[in-house]
Amino acid sequence: MKQYIEFILGIENYVIEMSYVREIIKPVHITELVGVPEFVKGVSKIRDEVITIIDLHQKFNIDSATCEAYEPRIIILEFNSENIGLLVNDVVDILESDNITNVPSLIHHGIIREILNLEDKILPIFDIERLFSSDVTQWLNSEEIS
């Protein structure tokens, strides 16, 4: 059975495969950077490592005022030998399930890979490879100042 981390983004709940997750932390000091895409919140020093923090609200144009009712968290992911932090409203639960449904064909998949179909709810599964497929990894690997 696969494990997933359930988190809140805006007013909806989503999941990420646990295999990508290194740790979940409370927000720490984030140093803002100039010349970065708007969704890059900045960098933070976490366990003697500099981690890029991505604000998913900014990336998906979600009103960040929705965070006020929650305890924001940073989900540290390991992807392509990079550690990247995702700023989300809150982390809700760790789930185990193999009950996966394909995204309906009429819906553009975007960053949603599949749907986790639980007894009492359905949760979109973020496709981490698509989430970081272009703009984030392109920026992380660039040497140009924008």
d(CA 96, CA 16): 12
CB 114 within 8 A of CB 103: yes
Residue 87 pLDDT grade (very low, low, confident, very high; cuts 50, 70, 90) = very high
Domain boundaries, the chain: 2-141
In the chain, % of residues over pLDDT 90: 60
Nearest to 103 by CA among 131, 79, 126, 134: 126
Residue 79 pLDDT grade (very low, low, confident, very high; cuts 50, 70, 90) = confident
Mean pLDDT of the chain: 87
How confident is the model at residue 146, as a pLDDT? 46
In the chain, % of residues over pLDDT 70: 88
- The residue that leads in pLDDT, 85 or 138, is 85
Top-tier CATH class for 2-141: mainly beta
Residue 117 pLDDT grade (very low, low, confident, very high; cuts 50, 70, 90) = very high
CB 32 within 8 A of CB 20: no
- The residue that leads in pLDDT, 144 or 16, is 16
Cα angle for residues 111, 112, 115 (degrees, 5° grid): 170
pLDDT, tens digit, for every residue of 118-143? 999 999 999 988 887 665 556 555 55
